[in-house]
Structure 1
Amino acid sequence: MSANRVILVRHGRTTWNADARFQGQTDVPLDDVGVGQARRTADALYEQLVGTHVRIVSSDLSRAAQTARALATRLDLELHLDERLREMSYGRWEGRTRDEIMLAWPEEFQTWRGGGDVRITGGESRSEAAARGASTIVEAEKEMDGGTLVIVSHGGTLRGAILSLLDAPGLPVEGLRNAHWAELQNTDRGWRLSRYNVC
């Protein structure tokens, strides 16, 4: 038993995204632009998924849940929330801009920005968030008997989880943009990425 494919969607925009503030696990809802993005993403995915077997699992943070609910409503499906799909915890960085973080924690920020797997002050490391996201995706995917699993989550968690599933943790890949998605296939040769940053 497993899904035929997994579509991984990043939530729509929030005011903190617009201000370039680190959100992490702070619960910031979609702004008006994000609501529109969620609606457009739901419409686009509806065209691909209508009439097929679909399960939707989302982070319980409101920005992801709002994005997921737009698709669940369109497909008339139950939405499953899972706190393990929350964004990476940025600890004391949350609510701050890059400039503010650079001033307060210059060495830690430079290591993180360079791709280092540093545990952020009061938060978690990239590898911890990636492992959490990947294991949740695998668990949800194995519960399905064919069809498509849709995961709605956050940029850092999704990027890390995708690279973890592909066994390529150090690959320099840009994050998913707001309301964009990636598609994975679980084949007999392991996970394969078939699409990335689609909208």
Structure 2
Amino acid sequence: MIDEVLFLRHGRTAYNLARRLQGQIDIPLDIVGRWQADQSAYELAKTYYWAKVAHIADHNDELAQPAYEGAYLADLNEINDAPAASRRMVVVSSDLFRAQQTAHAIADLLGLDVALDPRLRERSFGEWEGMTREEILEQYADDYHSWRAHTGGETKHGVESRRHTGQRGSQAIRSIIAEHADDPTATTLLAVGHGSWIVATVAVLLDMDPDDLNNLGAMRNAFWTSMSVNTGGSNGPADPDTWQWKLDAFNQGPAIAALTDWENGPKELRGPNMPLWKPIVQ
């Protein structure tokens, strides 16, 4: 039974740095993005270390043991009987490679598998994919301003609406939860995806309008959002309309993000020809 959903955005890519709309273009993390993913993975692995214990409790054969004759073996009972073994974590990632890399950064630390699901892909940006905001503004000024104002001008160019993105994402999350409804073990779902997809999905799950400018805001690279879900309504887990959702944290990151230039990474990772990431000013 999944009672917690942890949404994690992928780390930085070259398109993020250049401020190009990625959408569903399959581009990997850059050197700073890999650093971001690792830093968030280290932080989350501390909080969710129990997931590693729980996995070994389910797979005793994966615990490294001395192989020579007469050696003492680790006591499996101390793992199997630990309170940490009473919970589980399931990791599901968008099949776009930048999300896969981010998912594996934490899953590999905890010894967990990563399932891929195309329903977790980023919002499609149609013919705008690969373009910078300056290029869109120059060619499609009215539709650009409409997009920024959340009034839908971008949909003229094959861009998936925020509402459709959120509905697609919420249906995927509900479906994954339903798949685990018969498992009595309390479970955390780690869903690794993309900024626009996460924000729209969370908004729909909370019955918010994804196009409301006063909504949640944006997600930073490799930051996370957590929600609690109670599926024990009067009609049980089979009826998602009875599920109760609570936003526990939004756009949270590792402690190091407050101590360094998170978007640009540490100086030792930045080559002489790497431009600096800059915030959007228009």
TM-score, normalized by the shorter chain, greater than 0.5: yes
Normalised by the size of structure 2, how large is the TM-score?
0.67
Normalised by the size of structure 1, how large is the TM-score?
0.94
Contact map agreement 1:5 1:148 (CA 8 A) in 2: yes
Shift of 1:42: 1.0
Q: Which of 104, 125, 129 is equivalent to 2:165?
A: 129
Secondary structure class of the residue paired with 1:147: strand
Q: Deviations over 1:87-111 (max 9, x none)?
A: 0110111111111001111122111
Q: C-alpha distance in 1, partners of 2:128/2:217?
A: 21
Q: What is the root-mean-square deviation in Å for CA atoms of aligned residues?
A: 1.4
Q: Which of 187, 194, 203 is equivalent to 1:154?
A: 194
| Matched letter for residue 50 of structure 2 | G
State the match for 2:23 in structure 1.
24
- Comparing 108-117 and 173-182, the one that deviates more: 108-117
State the match for 2:93 in structure 1.
58
Unaligned 5+ runs, structure 1: none
State the match for 2:250 in structure 1.
196
Q: C-alpha distance in 2, partners of 1:79/1:128?
A: 25
Alignment of 1:78 with 2:116, yes or no, is no
Alignment of 1:181 with 2:221, yes or no, is no
Over alpha carbons, which structure has the higher Rg?
Answer: 2
> Aligned runs of 1:27-42 on 2, under 5 Å?
27-42=26-41
Contact map agreement 1:5 1:184 (CA 8 A) in 2: yes
Q: C-alpha distance in 2, partners of 1:120/1:154?
A: 22
Alignment of 1:5 with 2:45, yes or no, is no
Q: Which runs of 4+ in 1 moved over 3 A?
A: none
Q: Deviations over 1:151-197 (max 9, x none)?
A: 00001111000000000122422111000000001136711101011
Secondary structure class of the residue paired with 1:12: coil
Aligned residues: 198
- Which structure's relative contact order is higher, taking Cα pairs within 8 Å and 6+ residues apart? 1
Q: C-alpha distance in 1, partners of 2:208/2:221?
A: 23
Contact map agreement 2:123 2:165 (CA 8 A) in 1: yes
| Matched letter for residue 182 of structure 1 | T
